[in-house]
Amino acid sequence: MSGILLEVCVDDPDGLEAAVAGGADRIELCSALGAGGLTPSPGLMAVAAPPPVPVYAMIRPRAGDFIYDRADLEVMRRDIDAARHAGLAGVVLGASLADGRLDARMLTKLAGHAAGMGLTLHRAFDLVPDFAEAMEIAVDLGFERILTSGGAKTAPEAVDTLERLIELAAGRLSIMPGSGITIDTIEALVPRLAITEIHSSCSIAGPANDMRLIEMGFAAPERRRTDAAKIRAMRARLDAPVAKA
């Protein structure tokens, strides 16, 4: 399993510190991971820099769908500027049309605004009706990788699809499995899939939120936190020699 890069998604300063301490190779910086990850604040971006490992900022201005209008585009451009100003290595982008296809025009504008930065296409890809068409858009726009669960809720449920996506990519960009990847599920993907990187939260359940905060709508019932020990364990598993049949 050696040679597989581990990207860890975090949404607060403690998670950032745990990811670095645990040995993450790259960090996806977000806010609100409970909502699938939103754009981190400029303050959190600044805390992440200068980064000891590459940090990519999620650029997603709101929860819900990935259908964006002109006002959303302006916000996202400014968020890309904030990531660049903070010295982050790249950004994580995605945009959809009403029918689920990638919004190539919107992505062209966003990728152009992020020129010179690394680019990850996020799981808006998992909603598309035609993976091959979407992949060509990603390749043409210069995305380095696609973060995908293969169209399923979790990546381990879609190993066959992920295998086909890797074949479609043909080395032009990386297919990075993400969603539901833990120590317990990684064996479903590796070494079967010819991947060079994976994406995981490496999180554990934290202390319960105060019930009054939950009742007032200030907090979710479950609290999770990035765990350095989980990251170390995942890193060790990825670095372990593959047993010969």
Query: What does the pLDDT profile of the chain (245 residues) look like in tens digits?
Result: 458 999 999 999 999 999 999 999 999 999 998 888 999 999 999 999 877 899 999 999 999 999 999 999 999 999 999 999 999 999 999 999 999 999 999 999 999 999 999 999 999 999 999 999 999 999 999 999 999 999 999 999 999 999 999 999 999 999 999 999 999 999 999 989 999 999 999 998 776 667 776 676 666 767 778 999 999 999 999 988 764 43
Query: What local confidence, expressed as pLDDT, does residue 214 receive?
Result: 66
For the beta carbon of residue 156, count every other beta carbon within 10 angstroms: 21
Query: What local confidence, expressed as pLDDT, does residue 219 receive?
Result: 64
Query: What local confidence, expressed as pLDDT, does residue 223 receive?
Result: 72
- What is the pTM assigned to this prediction? 0.92
205-242 burial, b at 16+ Cβ within 10 Å, e below that, comes to: eeeeeeeeeeeeeebeeeeebbbbebbeebbebbeeee
Name which CATH class applies to 5-238.
alpha beta
Closest by Cα among 58, 79, 56, 57 to 5: 56
Cis peptide before 54 (omega within 30 of 0): no
Query: What local confidence, expressed as pLDDT, does residue 1 receive?
Result: 40
Helix (H) or strand (E) holding 93, with range, is strand 90-93
Alpha helix (H) residue ranges in 23-175: 42-47, 70-86, 104-113, 131-140, 159-169
Query: What local confidence, expressed as pLDDT, does residue 212 receive?
Result: 73
Query: What local confidence, expressed as pLDDT, does residue 231 receive?
Result: 96
Three-state SS for 240?
Answer: coil
**Do residues 68 and 106 make contact, with C-beta atoms less than 8 angstroms apart?**
yes
Query: What local confidence, expressed as pLDDT, does residue 245 receive?
Result: 39
Helix (H) or strand (E) holding 146, with range, is strand 145-148
23-49 burial, b at 16+ Cβ within 10 Å, e below that, comes to: bbbbbbbbbbbeeebbbbebebbebbe
* Percentages (nearest 5) of helix, strand, coil residues in the chain: 40, 20, 40
Query: What local confidence, expressed as pLDDT, does residue 50 receive?
Result: 77
Query: What local confidence, expressed as pLDDT, does residue 240 receive?
Result: 82
Closest by Cα among 108, 67, 115 to 91: 115
The one-letter code for the residue type at 234 is M
